[in-house]
Structure 1
């Protein structure tokens, strides 16, 4: 049985958040044009597995909640840490108030904007003798594009990169350090197509690039942007997704026993990622992307993509990046492995192995994991 996510906001992955079509006539087409509604098939390769223990961040809404509902429906034990216990408990309450499910949901507190909270959460997992078969680093945030001043995490990182990259880097480092993974654990990192300036989304607005890492190199946690530039909220989000792709590839390189893959869920105009955006922008973008231009994806598509990479026996790739053409959710779950498959990363990633390694080294130093 699949449960549907109940909260809606905005997530932009394949397309940029600035891409708003100016013609008023386009909005009137929304009532005429519809995305084909094909019956979903089972996600390939995830049924009939023995019970697994899974950790997923960003599980309180959007694709994270949808993925958790799938995991629990299949009988797995899912750890759902959130920035406060109320938020984590709400996931469990929503799941089990809807139906009796064979799996288990384990709540916890892990604020990705606070390295101390991440440490405390890892300590709690260790004291419970947890062994994780799969880790899904899915949480993320994006600042409002009108923000002029960078917000900061508890330890002083620019908040977007601080949560989306450094928080997950710290968490993953502790899971390895405390031996909380099984021998062949799988790690799935939610990235985005906007990490690539040549992609449809990456071309809009500011372009992602970490440059020569001069911001991190010279200012450490105090830098506003990794490349040393002035704060740009649009670029900060795209840069954080570029960090996600670099992180996934270097994590795989350093841990060949793990299966590490990243992916873009596509443009999903119904998740909590862009909660800081202008509400009117969100509503207009929802109509245009999903109903008019048919480049948007559904929450269930994104949640299925996450579940597919995290669990499917059909996944054989180590260190891959998965994606699909815009509008692929119309094909349903049967498209995982066909329409949704290994995709190209940006030129900066393919040509940036030394940068990838240096980003890891600087991240390790700044979050103080040996």
Structure 2
């Protein structure tokens, strides 16, 4: 893969393909949905804020909006059922939505809020749609992680998965983003083992200017904003790794794409290296099994 020159203009024609983008009402998700639509894809915007989702969809050639609250498994199941009703085929599932550095909280199902929203909600959604993806030639699952997956201990804290013993906003966010990568790698392993043509890949936007930081404590906002302006790039550029992961024919299962500039903070999108912890086979399997138990969703990929 050439890491030096790819842009959204290199995306292939997507006419006839269907993509689901979570969190497509704002930021990276909205950019992703618009670019896919401009290449001819039919886009389903899976959003918690239906009004904002409708505003984005109004500018797209062929788009529908489905309500999805990833912090509620009931909402995830409802959204998956609606998507199944409106789509005969599913070429792309882009797990983009997320929350960052929230105050301590739990989802409607009692999970730590960031892990529950960023990982467990997407795990359940993917599992509920996986048969449609596997039945569609050339389909992909793209899950958006973050540079933050390396922070904290750098390893999954299975002994305190829901941060009940102690809670740190950034630490919990880092765990949820590490979970995104562990999920991607285990999903790819299981897809390969069952002979499916669907691939699982991951991406991260680098340091991108979006509203994801709305939960950053007030006293840290000037520092975060200044750092983003100095070292980061726009949402349009931040979405490029996701778009390349979703559409570039040279991408292979298990790839992780991000900016290839200084410390992966900005620059052209290409394949980058995730942490060693995100590729730990035991952690991958363990998180998958725990995720099945917590969500009650068992993707049809039972392998050893």
Q: TM-score range by the shorter chain?
A: 0.7 to 0.9
More helix by proportion, 1 or 2? 2
Matches within 5 A, 1:217-232: 223-224=162-163, 229-232=165-168
Equivalent residue pairs, number: 289
Task: Say which of 290, 298, 301 aligns to 1:362.
Answer: 290
**How much has 1:303 moved relative to structure 2?**
1.6
1:266 is aligned to 2:206: yes
CA–CA distance in structure 2, aligned partners of residues 41 and 194 of structure 1: 24
Counterpart contact for 2:46–2:67, Cα < 8 Å: yes
CA–CA distance in structure 2, aligned partners of residues 289 and 129 of structure 1: 38
1:286 is aligned to 2:225: yes
1:300 is aligned to 2:300: no
- Structure 2 residue runs of 5 or longer lacking an equivalent are 299-304
- Structure 1 residue runs of 5 or longer lacking an equivalent are 1-39, 197-201, 217-222
1:210 is aligned to 2:156: yes
Normalised TM-score (structure 2): 0.86
- The alpha-carbon distance between structure 1 residues 251 and 328, as it changes in their structure 2 partners (threshold 3 A), is closer
Deviations, residues 74-113 of structure 1 (Å, cap 9, x unaligned): 22110001114223212223xx2xxxx5x31111111101
- SS state at 1:275 partner: helix
**How much has 1:357 moved relative to structure 2?**
0.3
CA–CA distance in structure 2, aligned partners of residues 178 and 276 of structure 1: 35
Counterpart contact for 2:202–2:257, Cα < 8 Å: yes
1:182 is aligned to 2:143: no
- Name 2:127's counterpart in structure 1: 173
Larger Rg: 1
Deviations, residues 286-340 of structure 1 (Å, cap 9, x unaligned): 334423xxx2122111122211111122x33211112223487876xxx3xxxx3
- Name 1:321's counterpart in structure 2: 256
Counterpart contact for 1:191–1:262, Cα < 8 Å: yes
- Name 2:273's counterpart in structure 1: 344
**How much has 1:284 moved relative to structure 2?**
4.1
**How much has 1:347 moved relative to structure 2?**
2.1
Counterpart contact for 2:207–2:266, Cα < 8 Å: no
Task: Say which of 53, 56, 60 aligns to 1:91.
Answer: 56
